């Protein structure tokens, strides 16, 4: 079994290749793993939404990569994440749902967040200060501008109201069938899961991010379910 850092490196490459539609790089990344066991709005949530890096709503920065000559060429956009009936059944008016603004390569939770808004839920987003400080989930109006945060994140202003989430939509680097999650390595979400033990923990990922097994540490908290562009995965 590969160590966590090696898995992170390889799976980041695999998911970015997936988003960019680069089948060759996806295969190369999988073979490598097998060889050794500015203000923005949340993309796609509101009519005036603006995606990170001034991209059109819902468009990732990788939608129009450039070749070595600087000429832009088009690639297929990644498929949308499913909105399973089991997720819709869990939504109730007044619930607080934590979403996130995806970094390049991450699965976009916008379809799930939009369904939550339509069901009358409040959307909150993570706010990060530094690696040592636990993240907070802050209230956010879907039409409100976000500010630039550390590590390239986009987040609500620090003085927004803090909320306790009922559902946490969680980004990840890799996952397995036991719903173990490999994150970026800072432990933000593992600490949040401990702080909010009653929240429903939903991983949001591309199907290519599933691996046979993940090394799990004592502090790792498994998810309740994972949703991809093809599946709703539960224990």
Domain carrying residue 122: 4-233
pLDDT at 170: 97
Radius of gyration of the chain (CA): 17
* pLDDT over threshold 70, residue 83: yes
* pLDDT over threshold 90, residue 68: no
Q: Which residues contact 161 (CB under 8 A, 6 or more apart)?
A: 138, 139
Task: Give the rounded percent of residues in the chain with a pLDDT score beyond 70.
Answer: 76
Q: CA 50, 55, 56 angle in degrees (round to 5)?
A: 65
- This prediction has a pTM of 0.76
Q: Between residues 134 and 173, which one has the greater pLDDT?
A: 173
pLDDT at 136: 94
Least confident span in 26-30, 62-66, 70-74, 96-100? 62-66
End-to-end CA distance of the chain: 22
Locus of tokens 């379910």:
225
The closest of 142, 140, 195, 203 to 168, measured between CA atoms, is: 203
Tell me, what CATH number does 214's domain have? Answer: 3.40.50.10420
Q: Write out pLDDT tens, residues 142-152.
A: 777 887 887 78
Q: Write out pLDDT tens, residues 1-52.
A: 678 888 888 888 888 889 888 544 444 544 444 444 444 445 456 433 433 4
Average pLDDT of 48-59? 36
pLDDT at 44: 52
Length of the chain: 235
The closest of 98, 97, 105, 126 to 186, measured between CA atoms, is: 126
Q: Write out pLDDT tens, residues 105-118.
A: 999 999 999 999 99
pLDDT at 180: 95
Is there a contact between 166 and 199 (Cβ–Cβ < 8 Å)?
A: yes
* pLDDT over threshold 70, residue 100: yes
**Cα gap 63→66, rounded to integer Å:** 10
Using CA atoms in the order 113, 115, 116, 117, what is the torsion angle rounded to 10 degrees? 90
Phi, psi of 15 (to 5 degrees): -75, -35
**Cα gap 136→107, rounded to integer Å:** 21
The closest of 186, 191, 95 to 136, measured between CA atoms, is: 191
Q: Write out pLDDT tens, residues 189-228.
A: 999 999 999 999 999 999 999 999 998 888 889 999 999 9
pLDDT at 42: 54
**Cα gap 171→182, rounded to integer Å:** 9
Task: Give the rounded percent of residues in the chain with a pLDDT score beyond 90.
Answer: 48
**Cα gap 69→192, rounded to integer Å:** 44
Number of domains the chain contains: 1
DSSP letter at 228 equals -
Across the chain, mean pLDDT equals 80
The closest of 107, 105, 110, 109 to 22, measured between CA atoms, is: 105
pLDDT at 111: 97
The closest of 146, 151, 209 to 180, measured between CA atoms, is: 209
């Amino acid at each position: 079994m590969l160590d966590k850092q090696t898995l992170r490196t390889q799976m980041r490459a695999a998911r970015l290749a997936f988003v960019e539609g680069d089948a060759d790089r996806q295969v190369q990344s999988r073979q490598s793993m097998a060889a050794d066991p500015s203000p923005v709005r949340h993309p796609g949530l509101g009519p005036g939404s603006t995606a990170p890096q001034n991209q059109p709503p819902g468009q990732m920065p990788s939608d129009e990569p450039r070749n070595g000559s600087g000429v832009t060429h088009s690639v297929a956009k990644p498929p949308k994440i499913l909105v399973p009936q089991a997720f819709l059944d869990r939504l109730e008016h007044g619930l607080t749902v934590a979403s996130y603004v995806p970094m390049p390569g991450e699965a976009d939770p916008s379809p799930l967040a939009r369904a939550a808004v339509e069901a009358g839920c409040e959307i909150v987003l993570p706010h990060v200060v530094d690696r040592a400080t636990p993240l907070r989930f802050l209230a956010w109006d879907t039409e409100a501008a976000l500010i630039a945060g550390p590590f390239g994140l986009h987040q609500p202003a620090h003085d927004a109201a803090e909320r306790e989430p009922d559902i946490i939509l969680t980004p990840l680097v890799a996952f397995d069938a036991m719903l173990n999650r490999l994150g970026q390595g800072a432990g933000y979400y593992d600490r949040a899961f401990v702080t909010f033990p009653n929240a429903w923990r939903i991983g949001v990922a591309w199907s290519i991010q599933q691996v046979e097994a993940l090394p799990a540490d004592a502090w790792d908290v498994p998810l309740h379910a994972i949703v991809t562009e093809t599946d709703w995965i539960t224990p």
